[in-house]
Every structure is written in structure tokens, then in C-alpha cells.
């Protein structure tokens, strides 16, 4: 069985700058992998390659054995890769409920005509969607905010809602882009617990981009370290922590 996500020598250049260079990366089903590196190492660029925001200059990207190079971001999401953003990007004026509900169009059987005709099937489908949205919100203790506009939530709740929204796409791979950004120590502990919980409850693979070493060391089962677009180390937290290259990259020579 092929790996869930596989990058083969994925490279992207912006003019003379090679942001990500020949990156090999494999993520298996249900795995929790962390991608770390100092600022400007190419972590978010690697993320954007996987989600189709950027196209690789060379190299290949496979999801579940099939190439996803050249596909639009929305198609890649439909295939089972969902993401969150470094600087939260919710739908601010939509309610908490609608933020999640919007994503359920991926699982709709009907299309526009369904919505216009509003027959029995339509109402039944909308009802089951509402139920599933509420279930998801309840799991993450967001049910009580269902009718509030997303922008009125606290920072931590917005982060959580963004993750719930991504989960609504029923992904097999969840990409989290610096989820700990702007969080205090208590919130980070909470987040660690949340990420583990998601992996176990939903049985999905998670790729985490983060530069908070402590958080990563706490949850990453496998850690990939990027520096200047090149993979300099890969392994368990202990291995990575002891790797002289990693120490050099983070602390300077």
C-alpha cells in the first residue's frame, strides 16, 4: 500500500530563490508528523505545495498513490487534504454553525437544482447536515456558540473552530499551519491534547508545521527539519534533538 502522502524531490523556485529543494517526505495513514525549521526555512511553502496553492517547479507529489500536481486547491481538498491557516482565516461574518456547514457541500448529493426545488430529499439532506455539524461542534465544545458570528469568538475558540471546519471536509490528512502561533503556555498544553485527540478520534494523519520546539517535541512522532528549503534531519524527537545539524540551524554555529 502506498504512503498516504508522498513528496518526491519536490522543488519550487521563485526566480533565483529555491524555497524548497528536493524535498522527500512520506506520511503514512494515521501518522502524526511535524515539520519544523527556523523562520524562512520553507515550511509554509512546503505546505502550499501540498495544498496546490503553489505548483512545484520539479518533482512529484502523490496523495494516496495518485499525483496531485497541477490540481486546484479545492480539488485537493475534495480528495481528502484539509488545512488550517497560520493567521486564522475563518468566514468572519458567518455564524459558527455556517462556517462548518459551508464545508459540507463537499458531501452533498444534490447540486443547485436541489437547493432551488427544495423537495423532500433536500430537506432530509439539510437536516442530516445540521445534525452532523452540531455533533462536530459539540465534540469541540463549540456548540454553545453556534449562532454567534465567527469573528466574535475568542482567539483560542477561533483556532479550534478552524480545525473543526477543516475536519468537516472529512480529510484523511489534516494540515495544521502553526496552530500554536499566538498562544500562551496553558493554551499550548491544551492544543497538544487536542491534536492527539483528533488523531485518535478521527483516525487521520496529521502534518503539523510549527516552530515552537517544545510543542513539537511533545507530540511529533516523527519530525522533519527544514533549513533553507533543504531537509537536514528526520527522525524521532530524541534523534532530532541530538542532531548537530539541527542544533546548528536553531542556535547558529
Distance CA 67, CA 54 (A): 15
Distance CA 22, CA 8 (A): 7
Binding mask 136-165 for other proteins (x = CB under 8 A): -------------x-x-------------x
**187 in Cβ contact with 154 (< 8 Å):** no
- For other proteins, which stretch binds (CB under 8 A), given 15-23, 38-46, 121-129, 186-194? 121-129
Q: Which residues contact 124 (CB under 8 A, 6 or more apart)?
A: none
CB nearer other proteins, residue 6 or residue 71: 71
Locate cell 456548540: which residue?
Answer: 143
Half-sphere exposure of 124 (CA within 13 A, CB side): 5
Of 31, 35, 10, nearest to 178 by C-alpha is 35
Q: Which of 1, 16, 74, 109 touches other proteins (CB under 8 A)?
A: 74
211 part of the interface to other proteins, by CB under 8 A? no
CB nearer other proteins, residue 132 or residue 196: 132
- For other proteins, which stretch binds (CB under 8 A), given 26-34, 123-131, 192-200, 225-233? 123-131
Q: Binders of other proteins: how many residues, by CB under 8 A?
A: 40
71 part of the interface to other proteins, by CB under 8 A? no
Q: Which of 17, 60, 115, 248 touches other proteins (CB under 8 A)?
A: 115
Distance CA 24, CA 7 (A): 5
Nearest distance from C-beta of residue 55 to other proteins, angstroms: 15
Amino acid at each position: 500500500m502506498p504512503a498516504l502522502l508522498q513528496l518526491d524531490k519536490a522543488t519550487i523556485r521563485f526566480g533565483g530563490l529555491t524555497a524548497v529543494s528536493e524535498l522527500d517526505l512520506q506520511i503514512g495513514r494515521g501518522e502524526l508528523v511535524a515539520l519544523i525549521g527556523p523562520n524562512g526555512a520553507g515550511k509554509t511553502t512546503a505546505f502550499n505545495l501540498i495544498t496546490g496553492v503553489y505548483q512545484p517547479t520539479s518533482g512529484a507529489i502523490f496523495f494516496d498513490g495518485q499525483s496531485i500536481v497541477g490540481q486546484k486547491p479545492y480539488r485537493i481538498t475534495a480528495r481528502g487534504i484539509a488545512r488550517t491557516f497560520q493567521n486564522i482565516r475563518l468566514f468572519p461574518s458567518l455564524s459558527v454553525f455556517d462556517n462548518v456547514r459551508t464545508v459540507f457541500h463537499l458531501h452533498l448529493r444534490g447540486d443547485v437544482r436541489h437547493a432551488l426545488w427544495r423537495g423532500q430529499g433536500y430537506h432530509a439532506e439539510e437536516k442530516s447536515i445540521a445534525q452532523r455539524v452540531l455533533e462536530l461542534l459539540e465534540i469541540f465544545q463549540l456548540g454553545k456558540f453556534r449562532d454567534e458570528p465567527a469573528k466574535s469568538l475568542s482567539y483560542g475558540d477561533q483556532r479550534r473552530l478552524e480545525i473543526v471546519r477543516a475536519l468537516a471536509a472529512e480529510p484523511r490528512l489534516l494540515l495544521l499551519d502553526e496552530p500554536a502561533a499566538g498562544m500562551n503556555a496553558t493554551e499550548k498544553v491544551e492544543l497538544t491534547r487536542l491534536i492527539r485527540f483528533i488523531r485518535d478520534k478521527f483516525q487521520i494523519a496529521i502534518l503539523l508545521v510549527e516552530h515552537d520546539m517544545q510543542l513539537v517535541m511533545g507530540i511529533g512522532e516523527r519530525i522533519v527539519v527544514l533549513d533553507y528549503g533543504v531537509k537536514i534531519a528526520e527522525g524521532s524527537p530524541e534523534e532530532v534533538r541530538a542532531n548537530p545539524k539541527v542544533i546548528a540551524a536553531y542556535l547558529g554555529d
